[in-house]
């Protein structure tokens, strides 16, 4: 295939070699179970887990005892939303969320609806942002939870999380935030943002797959959730099951690296992203950027190429990893629910690709990817009767 370029970092990221190096001893030499408190092997594993817990907590401004290790962000979202619903059942039966949330949140809400919980599903504007006034209006005396993601996994749009957190705090409602795409990429501070429950995952930030965390606020206010997995009372009774020690150690190191390097990395990715966008907009016409450019993750682009089918475009570019949407929703038929929520018509949604730049991408790769995208879009448009009609209309409009 020749040169290959990975631009799908919202689906997953490669594990940083520094993370792998830290993890390796915990597969062989330091293989103990942290719940085995009668011998050295268990103590060693427990110490490693608690060190990682401090590293994870430090990245988001939390206390170590507020971190619950899980198998990933999907489990964390399930534990947060379902756990809060059960804990608050006596005083509330209403939750608020947004149409552009990840399926891990939306499907939890649908499950709860079947159990009698009322769900308010708020829309977004053409930039992908939720209206703060709508959130305030949606709150009722029976609202127990607001769940809004920090940064969208398809269009990269960053919600006004701090303002949402303040509204929730003032109204006495718990605030859950799916921050899977945000943690490690942009600063997240659970105290400043007034977040009560926060879900995130290691594999989106150059750590291993199969490990994530849920932040559960322990004071001002203390948040209670009901465990969704019973077994041995691990993780302070909130998540039973033998801990994935190598994964947790890697998660901790990935967080430590992100804390040190995030600002510099974000600036570099923003420059690469803007260069890629500059070339595409300069060399192609009828290209649409989906979502706000001002409130966007540094390495994200969501682009629609009029007259081009995204699936066909990706087949033309097999050496470049791109996607048409969330990896977790790849089995969906029809356009992405996120793009539909932005008001895109079906043709525009089907012409959309998601680009996610990451830590190990180079300037040379971006230039190569830009050239190949331009080449492939031009080729497909030459074969497209739809694009010919669009261009005729565009030229007719310009001539008048």
Handedness of CA 113, 117, 123, 124 (dihedral sign): negative
How far apart are the C-alpha atoms of 328 and 311, rounded to whole Å? 17
Calculated CA dihedral for residues 64, 68, 74, 78, nearest 10 degrees: -120
The fold of 17-257 is 3.40.640
State the pLDDT confidence band at 328, using cuts at 50, 70 and 90: low
pLDDT of residue 392: 74
Q: Each residue of 52-68: pLDDT tens digit? A: 999 999 999 999 999 99
328 is catalytic: yes
- Is it the case that residue 332 has pLDDT exceeding 90? no
Nearest CA-CA partner of 83 in 185, 269, 214 = 214
How far apart are the C-alpha atoms of 315 and 228, rounded to whole Å? 41
CATH of domain 5-11+262-399: 3.90.1150.10
Between the alpha carbon of residue 290 and those of residues 345, 371, 377, the distances in Å are 12, 21, 18
pLDDT of residue 248: 98
pLDDT of residue 386: 80
Strands 300-305 and 287-289: antiparallel
Interval 268-272 mean pLDDT: 98
Nearest CA-CA partner of 65 in 214, 169, 211 = 214
Nearest CA-CA partner of 56 in 241, 218, 211 = 211
State the pLDDT confidence band at 2, using cuts at 50, 70 and 90: low
- Residue 11 sits at the vertex; the CA angle it makes with 292 and 177, to the nearest 5 degrees, is 60
Q: Each residue of 91-125: pLDDT tens digit? A: 999 999 999 999 999 999 999 999 999 999 999 99
The token duo for 41 is 């092997």
How far apart are the C-alpha atoms of 313 and 351, rounded to whole Å? 9
The token duo for 264 is 């510099």
Domain assignments of the chain as residue spans, ordered by start: 5-11+262-399, 17-257
Interval 245-268 mean pLDDT: 98
pLDDT of residue 131: 98
How far apart are the C-alpha atoms of 227 and 215, rounded to whole Å? 14
Q: Each residue of 13-44: pLDDT tens digit? A: 999 999 999 999 999 999 999 999 899 999 99
How far apart are the C-alpha atoms of 106 and 79, rounded to whole Å? 14
Alpha helices in the chain (DSSP H): 17-23, 40-60, 73-87, 103-114, 132-138, 161-171, 245-283, 310-316, 337-341, 346-350, 363-382, 385-399
- Is it the case that residue 1 has pLDDT exceeding 60? no
Q: Each residue of 225-238: pLDDT tens digit? A: 999 998 888 998 89
Cis peptide before 221 (omega within 30 of 0): yes
Interval 69-77 mean pLDDT: 98
Q: Would you report the helix, strand and coil content of the chain in percent, each value rounded to 5?
A: 45, 15, 40
Nearest CA-CA partner of 161 in 179, 143, 180 = 179
- Is it the case that residue 400 has pLDDT exceeding 60? no
HSE, side-chain direction, 13 A CA sphere, residue 14: 12
Q: Each residue of 348-390: pLDDT tens digit? A: 999 999 999 999 999 999 999 999 999 999 999 998 888 878 8
pLDDT of residue 353: 97
Mean pLDDT of the chain: 94
How far apart are the C-alpha atoms of 243 and 324, rounded to whole Å? 34
Place of tokens 């606020």: 217
pLDDT of residue 388: 78
387: Cβ contacts below 8 Å, ≥ 6 apart: 286, 306, 307, 308, 381
Residue in 88, 108, 177, 328 annotated catalytic: 328
The token duo for 243 is 């801990």
The token duo for 322 is 């791109």
% of the chain exceeding 90 in pLDDT: 90
Indicate if 17-257 has the same CATH topology as 5-11+262-399: no
pLDDT of residue 43: 96
pTM of the entire predicted model: 0.95
């Amino acid at each position: 295939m020749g040169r290959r370029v990975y631009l799908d970092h919202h689906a997953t990221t490669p594990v940083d070699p520094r993370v792998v190096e830290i993890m390796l001893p915990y597969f062989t030499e330091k293989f103990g179970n942290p719940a085995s408190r009668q011998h050295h092997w268990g103590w060693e594993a427990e110490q490693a887990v608690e060190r990682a817990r401090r590293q994870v907590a430090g990245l988001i401004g939390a206390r170590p005892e507020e971190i619950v290790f899980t198998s990933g962000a999907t489990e964390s979202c399930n534990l947060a939303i379902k756990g809060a619903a059960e804990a608050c059942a006596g005083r509330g039966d209403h939750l608020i969320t947004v149409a552009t949330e990840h399926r891990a949140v939306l499907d939890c809400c649908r499950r709860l609806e079947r159990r009698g919980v009322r769900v308010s599903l708020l829309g977004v504007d053409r930039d992908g942002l939720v209206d703060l006034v709508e959130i305030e209006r949606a709150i009722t005396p029976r609202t127990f939870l607001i769940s809004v993601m920090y940064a969208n996994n398809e269009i990269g749009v960053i919600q006004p999380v701090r303002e949402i957190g303040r509204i929730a705090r003032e109204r006495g409602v718990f605030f859950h935030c799916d921050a899977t795409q945000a943690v490690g990429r942009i600063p997240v501070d659970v105290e400043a943002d007034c977040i009560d429950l926060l879900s995130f995952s290691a594999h989106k930030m150059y750590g291993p797959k199969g490990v994530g965390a849920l932040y559960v606020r322990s004071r001002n206010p203390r948040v209670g959730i009901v465990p969704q997995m019973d077994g041995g009372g691990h993780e302070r009774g909130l998540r039973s099951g033998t801990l994935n020690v190598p994964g947790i150690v890697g998660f901790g190191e990935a967080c430590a690296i992100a804390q040190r390097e995030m600002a510099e990395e974000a600036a570099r990715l923003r420059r690469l992203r803007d260069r890629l966008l500059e070339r595409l907009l300069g060399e192609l016409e009828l290209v649409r950027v989906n979502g706000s450019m001002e409130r966007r993750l540094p390495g994200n682009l969501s682009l629609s190429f009029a007259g081009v089918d995204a699936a066909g475009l990706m087949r033309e570019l097999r050496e470049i990893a791109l996607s048409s949407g969330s990896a977790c929703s790849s089995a969906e038929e029809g356009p992405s629910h996120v793009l539909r929520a932005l008001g895109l018509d079906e043709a525009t949604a089907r012409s959309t690709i998601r680009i996610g730049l990451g830590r190990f991408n180079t300037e040379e790769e971006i230039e190569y990817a830009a050239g190949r995208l331009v080449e492939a879009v031009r080729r497909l448009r030459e074969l497209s009767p739809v694009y010919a009609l669009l261009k005729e209309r565009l030229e007719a409009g310009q001539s008048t």
